[in-house]
Amino acid sequence: MNRKFAALPRFRIVRSVAWMTILAGAAIAQSQQTPASSSSSEQQPQAQQQSSQQPSAQPPGAQQPSGSQEASPEETENPHRKPKDYKNWTYSVGGGASLTSGTTAKFVRGGGGIGAAGVARNYSKYFGFRLDFQYDNLPLRSSALQDAQAPGGNSHVYTLMLDPVINIPATKEWGGFIVFGPSYYHRSGELDSSSAIPGSACNAFFTWWGHCFNASLPLNGHFLNSSQNEFGENFGGGITRKLRPNIDLYAEVRIMHGSHNSITTDLKPITIGLRW
């Protein structure tokens, strides 16, 4: 009996030690987890505080970094500006025939051939300045050759015009334009020969021809050739038809007038050509 009672307390002691060991291990494990969780809970409010302190948006005007290509200078200055729908420079060539008027119609037949070329500097879709050079053939009438007492002859005029041009776009294919401005005319001609007597009175043809002096033909007989400069104006307009994106067909008519010392040149050229 004494051995049994002696063994019983020893068993209880072992069991108590085992339970104490288990409880101590659990307490140690809990103590190790608690600081980690508390530290994480403390770091979360700090992170939220830092994020709240940071500005939510960049100040106005600041550029955000982007991997895309930088905007061009034109887009930076005015991103809403539309691309130009006109060309700064346009060129034209054409040909046709002239009608005559005024005193010129008395001595020149209508239908003389012409050649024209021009360049325009455009400042907008509707307005620009245009410089034109034009050659007009002036075939002399038979009655004019009789007055000149000449079997034949020729006459022509070179014209330089600087005009404002007003463009009137109607549709994508059709348009119109108006030109007006000053002109410079150089008219010249030559008679094959003449039986007119130097010093004799000038008739209407020789007056228009431009070699009369005090209403008489020059005594030196130099009236077969004619050359004179005149200043005047021109006015006209026309229509355009787009053939290709950069090429237009145009047709125009003008009224041209030049004068010098009461000698005049009056033409109405009709021109058809291309503009690009």
pLDDT tens for residues 226-242?
999 999 999 999 999 99
Largest CA distance in the chain: 184
Pair 147, 119: CB distance under 8 Å: no
**pLDDT of the residue at 211:** 85
In tens, the pLDDT along 48-88 reads: 444 444 444 445 544 544 444 455 554 455 656 667 788 99
**pLDDT of the residue at 102:** 95
User: Does the pLDDT of residue 266 top 90, yes or no?
Assistant: yes
Pair 204, 215: CB distance under 8 Å: no
263: exposed, middle or buried (Cβ count in 10 Å: 0-12, 13-18, 19+): middle
The mean pLDDT value for 34-52 works out to 45
Tell me how far apart the alpha carbons of residues 181 and 255 are, in angstroms, rounded to a whole number: 11
**pLDDT of the residue at 79:** 58
> Domain 89-275 adopts which CATH fold?
Porin (2.40.160)
Q: Is 29 helix (H, G, I), strand (E, B) or coil?
A: helix
Q: Which residue has the tokens 């200055």?
A: 77
Tokens encoding 162: 């600087």
Neighbours of 257 (CB within 10 A): 19
Q: What rounded mean pLDDT belongs to the chain?
A: 82
Tokens encoding 266: 């009056």
User: Does the pLDDT of residue 37 top 80, yes or no?
Assistant: no
Tell me how far apart the alpha carbons of residues 187 and 98 are, in angstroms, rounded to a whole number: 15
Lowest mean pLDDT among 17-31, 138-152, 196-210: 17-31
Is the model more confident about 222 or about 43?
Answer: 222
User: Does the pLDDT of residue 172 top 60, yes or no?
Assistant: yes
Tell me how far apart the alpha carbons of residues 228 and 260 are, in angstroms, rounded to a whole number: 8
**pLDDT of the residue at 198:** 95
Residue 116 — very low, low, confident or very high, per pLDDT cuts 50/70/90?
A: very high
User: Does the pLDDT of residue 99 top 80, yes or no?
Assistant: yes
The mean pLDDT value for 257-266 works out to 96
Tell me how far apart the alpha carbons of residues 157 and 183 are, in angstroms, rounded to a whole number: 12
Provide the whole-model pTM: 0.70
User: pLDDT > 70: what percent of the chain?
Assistant: 70
